[in-house]
Every structure is written in structure tokens, then in C-alpha cells.
Structure 1
């Protein structure tokens, strides 16, 4: 009898929902006494910690 091994199909991990798989999310920058928004900068996604894959998948 031939010994046959099968490998499971490789699946790609699902992208993270908040960052869309990029690992970065926009953070609003606020300045001044009234904390008015002046722009946005990139921040690390706290859901996937910058990996871009869904941790619950």
C-alpha cells in the first residue's frame, strides 16, 4: 500500500476591518486651546497591532 499524505489547502488570512489590511488608521490631530482639528496622521491599528490580518479569524 502506498503511504499517501495530504496537505491542507493554504488560505489567506482575512484583512483587519478597522484598518482594511494596511495596519495604519487615521488619527485626528488637534491643536490649540479649543482643540480644533487641523489634520490627520497615520497611527498603528490597535486591533491587529500593525499586521493587517484579522486576529479573530
Structure 2
């Protein structure tokens, strides 16, 4: 009788980036006031550090 290999459970997706590993941030312009613009830039998700998996404990 052949035995089946069990696949490990899929890790949960990160709640902040929804499993993508990156987020978008608003661009700040100006040295002193740092006003916000309508432009967005890609940024690494700091919760999962770009893996897309939920950190332990969540």
C-alpha cells in the first residue's frame, strides 16, 4: 500500500500587504514641511519583510 505525502499547510497571507510583499507609500516633497503629493511609490512591507506571509503570532 502506497503512502501519501502530506503537503504542509499554506501560510496565512500578511494582513498589511495581502500576500504581495509590497505596499504603496505617499511621496513627501520638501525638506522642512514635507508636504504630501498625489504620487505613490512602491515600498517593502515592513510587517512581513517582503515574504507575503503573516508573521508568527497573527
TM-score normalised over the length of structure 2: 0.72
Unpaired segments of 5 or more residues in structure 1? none
Aligned match of 2:17: 19
Unpaired segments of 5 or more residues in structure 2? none
Aligned length in residues:
55
Q: Which has the larger radius of gyration?
A: 1
Moved beyond 6 Å, runs of 4+: none
CA RMSD, Structure 1 to Structure 2 (Å): 2.2
Does residue 49 of structure 1 match 2:49? yes
